[in-house]
Amino acid sequence: MGGPALLPGALPPPKQKRSFPWSSPALPVPKPARAVPRRRGQDAFADIVAGVQEVIQNIGRGPKYDLVLSSGFLAFASHSGFLKAVEESKVPVASIVGTSSGAISGSLYAAGYSAEQVAAELARVAPIQLLRPNMQPWKGGVLSLDPVVERLRQLLPATFEELPVPLAVGVVDQTGKHMLIRSGPLPEAVAASAAIPMVFAAVDIPGASAGPHIDGGKVDRTALKAWRDARRESMQWGKQPPPALVHLVDRSSQLSGADDVAGTGEKKITVCRSPKSGANFFALGNFEEQVSAAYARAQPAIAAARAQRQTAPVASLMPLFAWMNAPQ
């Protein structure tokens, strides 16, 4: 699980690899076209054509990936190294889900900052410089994340909906239930995901139920299963979530939540592991060395996963051939 290490200083604007639709004008809503009934054969053919179009789009660049950034106490360096490997490998990113330090790192990357900029922001000062005593003891914890929320408001758009890349963060509500936040106020949700129990005061997320909320890593360090289930619910029938790259940082406490990725039963998952950071609120240790080590671990794993997925488009064409040869 991670505490923040954000700076009050200015951070360069994110690279324009992704657009920022933070203040785009409202567009007129087009009238829905009248549905035209299709025969059974037309339904099958249309579904296959849609699948073939998706396959053709993926040939050469491979499929998009979900990125999963686990909790890990002050694991900003390792997450930055993993993101650097993703970035330099030119992995198309479908979405990001992060918990605790993974939520902070992932939110910056989802907002369009490069991996290098993410690392620079999170390494500039010792975390203690952005922590304050908690003056609301009924929220638990001895330290307040209010300054972190303010810094995140400077760096991030106001809501999840304004992010160029879809993001979800894992939190735990006041009933002890793990939940994913993927809409509404963004800075508060990211800070809540990093609110280590008994260390930080719980964070109020405007509009969220059963608050205030704390670090999602208390129950689930990756939120992988919850995110994949949510993805399936939002997809068309028969479709499956994209493959996922999971960066799993070793736990710093035995009180942390579940992190058995294999036990989730999820398919098409590649796991890159990193050791715990060894950092503390007064010093982040050898940050650059940890970035480089995480990058070196992640790069071959990502390359192997992508090489395997590059063969999938050809196999995906088999339903078309089967349909063409089936008696009509």
CATH of the domain at 313: 3.40.1090
> How far, in Å, are 11, 23, 165, 183, 254 from residue 159 at the CA level?
19, 12, 12, 7, 33
Instruction: Specify the pLDDT at position 313.
Output: 46
Q: What residues form DSSP beta bridges with 220? A: 258
Per the domain annotation, does 138 fall within a domain? Answer: yes
Answer yes or no: is 41 within a domain: no
Residue 191 lies in a domain: yes
Residue 26 falls within a domain, yes or no? Answer: no
Q: Are 65 and 96 in contact (CB under 8 A)?
A: no
Q: At what angle do helices 101-110 and 186-193 cross, to 10 degrees?
A: 150
SS3 sequence of the chain: CCCCCCCCCCCCCCCCCCCCCCCCCCCCCCCCCCCCCCCHHHHHHHHHHHHHHHHHHHCCCCCCEEEEECCCCCCHHHHHHHHHHHHHCCCCEEEEEECCHHHHHHHHHHCCCCHHHHHHHHHCCCHHHHCEECCCHHHCCCEECHHHHHHHHHHCCCEHHHCCCCEEEEEECCCCCEEEECCCEHHHHHHHHCCCCCCECCECCCCCCCCCEEEHHHCECCCHHHHHHHHHHHCCCCCCCCCEEEEEECCCCCCCCECCCHHHCCCCEEEEEECCCCCECCECCCHHHHHHHHHHHHHHHHHHHHHHHHCHHHHHCHHHHHHHHCCC
- pLDDT of res. 44: 52
Cβ proximity of 7 and 130 under 8 Å: yes
The number of domains in the chain is 1
| Measured CA angle at 286 (ends 78, 219), to 5 deg | 35
CA distances for 39 relative to 34, 36, 42, 248, angstroms = 16, 10, 5, 47
Dihedral Cα 313, 319, 323, 325, nearest 10 deg: 80
- Any domain includes 30: no
Encoded tokens for 86: 């993703």
Structural domain that includes position 175? 60-325
**Residue 30: its pLDDT value, please?**
38
Report if residue 184 sits inside a domain.
yes
Question: Residue with structure tokens 């940082």?
Answer: 249
| Residue-level pLDDT at 13 | 60
Question: Is residue 27 in a domain?
Answer: no
Q: Report the candidate in 86, 105, 101 with the shortest Cα–Cα distance to residue 270.
A: 86
pLDDT > 90 in the chain, percent: 66
Low-confidence ranges of the chain (pLDDT < 50): 1, 3-8, 16-40, 55-56, 58-60, 312-317
pTM over 0.85: no
Q: What is the pLDDT of residues 80-91, one digit of tens each?
A: 999 999 999 999
241 in a structural domain:
yes
